[in-house]
């Protein structure tokens, strides 16, 4: 719980402190685990990922300059209208189970571990809940990538 709270607090602070594109919502109060529980893939991306990857997924978020390597451009995860990675591979990267896609980039949270700290109201096992959140986030990222090839 402390790790998730710390990440959320840092994300909030980076959003407030950085130069932010108009599409990124600046949250003046750090998100709590309860805030995450009700978010869909798009909302999770906006609140948790856009700070680094940018509102449009191009790796140009307000926190991107703080990293040594380039933040991965999520709009380039497809070629000729076809995904470069399978859905399972993308979920593995977001979860933190697979670091081979961006092995040269250090800094992405292990979201499966972090989402397991969110308490569910419906009694869903924490691992299943975390994987459902990652699935929703991966679907949104895939949509961003495929939309950029049009």
Work out the pLDDT band at 150, boundaries 50, 70, 90.
low
pLDDT at 15: 45
Cα 8 vs. chain centroid, distance in angstroms? 11
For the cut 50, the answer to whether the pLDDT of residue 142 exceeds it is: yes
- Give the number of other CB atoms < 10 A from CB of residue 118: 18
pLDDT at 101: 58
- The CA distance from 70 to 114, in Å, is 23
Indicate the average pLDDT of the chain: 76
């Amino acid at each position: 719980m402390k790790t998730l709270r710390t990440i959320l607090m840092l994300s909030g602070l980076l959003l407030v402190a950085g130069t932010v594109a108009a599409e990124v919502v600046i949250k003046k109060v750090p998100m709590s685990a309860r805030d995450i529980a009700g978010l869909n893939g798009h909302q999770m991306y906006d609140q948790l990922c856009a700070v680094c990857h940018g509102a449009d997924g191009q790796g140009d978020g307000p926190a991107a300059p703080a990293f040594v390597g380039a933040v991965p451009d999520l709009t380039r995860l497809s070629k000729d209208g076809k995904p470069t990675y399978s859905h399972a591979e993308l979920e593995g990267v977001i979860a933190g189970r697979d670091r081979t896609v961006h092995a040269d980039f250090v800094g992405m949270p292990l979201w499966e571990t972090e989402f397991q700290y969110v308490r569910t109201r419906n009694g869903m096992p924490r691992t299943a809940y975390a994987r459902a959140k990652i699935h929703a986030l991966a679907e949104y990222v895939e949509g961003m990538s495929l939309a950029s090839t049009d």
